């Protein structure tokens, strides 16, 4: 028979084992709950982020990106209309060819930016701005060399501004897709500017100094 002392020791060991097991389970449950709570805790947004517009396929786009795309579409529309006018008014084959190339390239640029413009809810203007209407009205009164001179100066000034805008957008854009497009197109537009300057030299036209 088992003595009373031995029996009591066995009970004590059993109780201690049960208590230890219960404590371990409780600790595991607490640890699991804490880990789950930590995983489910949402990330707080960065309070220092810039104002943002609609998201694009490439990431988050800022208000500055919207302004940039809107400005490009407006400039492209102006170049297309200037190109059409040059086909009618200019008497120089090289100026007509330049106008055609400029207009065609701006149409391609519009096509490239269209998916981003749609995401940003930015649309091409239905009519020229007041400034462009004034430029067109002035050019319509000219012909021959006078038209060529005014047209080339107008195109050179606008294209120079656009090149600067693209270079700036390539550095500051919040959207990787738009940033890459701006970087690539800035190079192409810079080549257009060189073509304009070469034709200006051919026609002895002095352009405004670059700022």
Phi, then psi, of 48 in degrees rounded to 5 = -95, 5
* Structural contact between residues 203 and 96, judged by C-beta atoms closer than 8 angstroms: no
pTM for the full predicted model: 0.68
pLDDT given at position 124:
87
Which burial class, exposed, middle or buried, applies to 59 when counting CB atoms under 10 A from its CB (0-12, 13-18, 19+)?
Answer: middle
Strand partners of residue 60? 55
**Ranges of the chain whose pLDDT falls below 50:** 1-59
* Structural contact between residues 120 and 52, judged by C-beta atoms closer than 8 angstroms: no
**101 is written with which tokens?**
């190339």
pLDDT given at position 18:
39
**Can you list the domains of the chain with their CATH numbers?**
62-202 (1.20.1260.10)
* Structural contact between residues 113 and 106, judged by C-beta atoms closer than 8 angstroms: no
pLDDT given at position 31:
45
Q: Which 3 state secondary structure label does DSSP give 63?
A: helix
**N-terminal to C-terminal alpha carbon distance within the chain:** 109
């Amino acid at each position: 028979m088992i003595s009373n002392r031995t029996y009591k020791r066995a009970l004590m060991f059993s109780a201690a084992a049960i208590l230890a097991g219960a404590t371990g389970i409780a600790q595991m449950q607490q640890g699991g709950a804490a880990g789950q709570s930590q995983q489910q805790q949402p990330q707080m947004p960065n309070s220092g982020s810039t104002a943002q517009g609609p998201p694009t396929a490439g990431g988050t786009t800022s208000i500055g990106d919207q302004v940039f795309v809107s400005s490009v579409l407006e400039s492209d529309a102006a170049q297309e209309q200037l190109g059409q006018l040059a086909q009618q008014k200019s008497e120089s084959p090289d100026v007509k060819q330049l106008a055609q190339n400029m207009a065609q390239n701006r149409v391609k640029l519009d096509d490239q930016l269209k998916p981003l413009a749609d995401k940003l809810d930015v649309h091409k203007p239905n009519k020229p701005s007041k400034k462009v209407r004034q430029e067109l009205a002035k050019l319509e009164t000219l012909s021959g060399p006078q038209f060529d001179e005014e047209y080339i100066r107008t195109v050179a000034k606008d294209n120079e501004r656009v090149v600067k805008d693209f270079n700036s957008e390539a550095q500051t854009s919040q959207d990787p897709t738009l940033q890459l497009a701006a970087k690539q197109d800035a190079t192409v537009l810079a080549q257009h500017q060189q073509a304009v300057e070469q034709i200006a030299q051919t026609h002895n036209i002095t352009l405004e100094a670059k700022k």
